[in-house]
Amino acid sequence: MRLNVPDYIMSIKPYEPGKPIDELEREYGIKNIVKLASNENPVGTSPLAVKAIGDHLATMNRYPDGSAFKLTAKLAERFNVKYENVIVGNGSDDIIALLAHAFLGTGREALMPLPSFLMYEISVRASGGTPVMVTLNGLSLDLDALANSVTEKTAMIFLTNPNNPTGSHFTTTEFDAFMAKIPSDVMVIVDEAYIEFARDPNIFNSLNVENRLRNSLLNRTEVIDLESVSTAREIIPLVDSRVISLRTFSKAYGLAGFRVGYGIMDSEIVSVLHRIRQPFNVNSLAQIAAAAALDDYGFFELGIKTMHKGIDYLVKELSAMGIKTFPTQANFFLLDVKRDATEVFKEMLRYGIITRSMKSYGFPSCLRISAGLPNENRAFIEALKKVISL
């Protein structure tokens, strides 16, 4: 049979997943491989989520709740928005694909940083839209260049904060200046997959109450007590109706294997996405796990602290080795090994350490690693010492 595939589909470079850990162990004859390549939560999965999953395993003969009602309502309550402002997906990349499918098409463009999350480009191309790449300024998003690249064809702009793979970020002040240049009919998708790990208090946080109130205070006469807002369950306006906030349970909440993400946005956009999403796009156990994980504050804090301590340890050790690292607001960072990063990546595999080469991202001598547990971090440092001495 001769396939008649549109050119815009054939233009997509297939995503290449890494080998599973058990296959690498077989190939290299190594046990207890340390994986620091995928920005995962090394602490594990919330005990509350694990219990909730176990309690519901016997109900898997039933279809999932197609509305994800409980999880959606819980997220709306957590962020002081209306139920109609929330949509959940099979990972946040599911929502990225829905947005592209709904609002792009032939002749419409989406701006995005280069390099950044690969699914932006894939989703845009799959929709028939045109991705327009805007090169980073060093390691940071070039907000001025992104704003200056807007044309009458621009339908949406992707911003990643903190950025993957560089770990850089932009501030609230920088975001405000950027938005002042953006037309009223252009969507700005702010992907905050790693926002929970940020340490800079000035980082732009689209769901932060203070940020969202800034635009509404001018129209209000009463005094608002910010400390009581969350407990009062007052509905807080979105930071801007053009802004779409994307987040995930894969990182800080340790649910990468369940594939749960969510978006918070104008209710009219949500209603459009509901028209085209799969009716059961988030499976039952994923919904249950995510809802339970939202209540596990202890696990959440443990994961954040473990990551911060791990990054601090790794940066200190690498600095002592004379290896340059780059500032980050995420749970990962770049390090410059001053040689072909892909070769170092391959050599590290021989010691049972999985890292990510940034050669294909335009950083030929850099690796990206996330922090692991203390013993995993030590194993990485010991292996790297052996590799760079070769």
Give the Cβ contact number of residue 152 at 10 Å.
7
List the structure tokens of 50.
Answer: 């694990």
Sheet containing 154-160: give its strands across: 86-89, 261-264, 243-248, 187-191, 154-160, 109-114, 130-135
pLDDT at residue 219 in the model: 45
Instruction: Give the distance, in angstroms, between the CA of residue 256 and the centroid of all CA atoms in the same chain.
Output: 11
| DSSP assigned state of 141 | -
| DSSP assigned state of 146 | H
- Those residues whose C-beta lies under 8 Å from the C-beta of residue 170, and which sit 6 or more positions away, are 140, 141, 143, 159, 161, 178, 203, 204
Measured in degrees and rounded to the nearest 5, phi and psi for residue 227 equal -65, -30
Sequential pLDDT tens for the chain (390 residues): 788 888 888 887 777 666 677 777 777 777 888 999 999 999 999 999 999 999 999 999 999 999 999 999 999 999 999 999 999 999 999 999 999 999 998 899 999 999 999 999 999 999 999 999 999 999 999 999 999 999 999 999 999 999 999 999 999 999 999 999 999 999 999 999 999 999 999 999 999 888 777 665 544 444 445 454 444 467 888 888 999 999 999 999 999 999 999 999 999 999 999 999 999 999 999 999 999 999 999 999 999 999 999 999 999 999 999 999 999 999 999 999 999 999 999 999 999 999 999 998 999 999 999 999 999 999 999 999 999 986
Give the whole-angstrom CA distance, residue 239 versus residue 33: 43
pLDDT at residue 19 in the model: 65
Domain boundaries, the chain: 7-44+298-388, 59-296
Taking the whole predicted model, whether its pTM rises above 0.75 is answered as yes
pLDDT at residue 222 in the model: 47
Contact 36, 286 (CB under 8 A): no
Give the whole-angstrom CA distance, residue 289 versus residue 46: 8
Domain covering 59-296 in this structure, CATH number = 3.40.640.10
Contact 246, 220 (CB under 8 A): no
Cα separation of the two ends of the chain: 52
Give the Cβ contact number of residue 93 at 10 Å.
22
Give the whole-angstrom CA distance, residue 10 versus residue 258: 29
Contact 311, 371 (CB under 8 A): yes
Instruction: Give the distance, in angstroms, between the CA of residue 73 and the centroid of all CA atoms in the same chain.
Output: 22
SS3 109: strand
SS3 271: helix
Please state the CATH superfamily assignment of the domain spanning residues 7-44+298-388 in this structure.
Aspartate Aminotransferase, domain 1 (3.90.1150.10)
